[in-house]
Amino acid sequence: AQSVTQLDSQVPVFEEAPVELRCNYSSSVSVYLFWYVQYPNQGLQLLLKYLSGSTLVKGINGFEAEFNKSQTSFHLRKPSVHISDTAEYFCAVRATDSWGKLQFGAGTQVVVTP
């Protein structure tokens, strides 16, 4: 079984400032890692994913994440946020030997203010 912990439930940030969203996971098997964003009253959109290879993954909208196997972490970063980045962000894992179900973290609400 897998579990995902998002260490911050809410992150306030000023426009054009950097942001980091923390995600730690635990699993007895190898996993794939994902970050999704959910805007109000909308579905989930994939920001980026880690399957294998380079531990630094770049995604859409200027986001990137770094996989750290020893610390079982997959933190998401953006060097300069916009107002439009205000949304809920979910970290998720999937066991590599599974049929694909995602285990989500509790989510981090990012609020960007001018």
Residues binding another protein (CB under 8 A): 32, 34, 36, 42-46, 49, 51, 90, 94, 98-107
Nearer to another protein, 66 or 88 (CB): 88
Shortest Cβ distance from residue 96 to another protein (Å)? 9
Nearer to another protein, 56 or 106 (CB): 106
Shortest Cβ distance from residue 7 to another protein (Å)? 14
Shortest Cβ distance from residue 52 to another protein (Å)? 11
Nearest residue to 110 via CA among 19, 2, 4, 5? 19
CB within 8 A of 40, min separation 6: which ones?
87
b/e per residue 76-96 (b: at least 16 CB within 10 A): bebeebeeebbbbbbbbbbbe
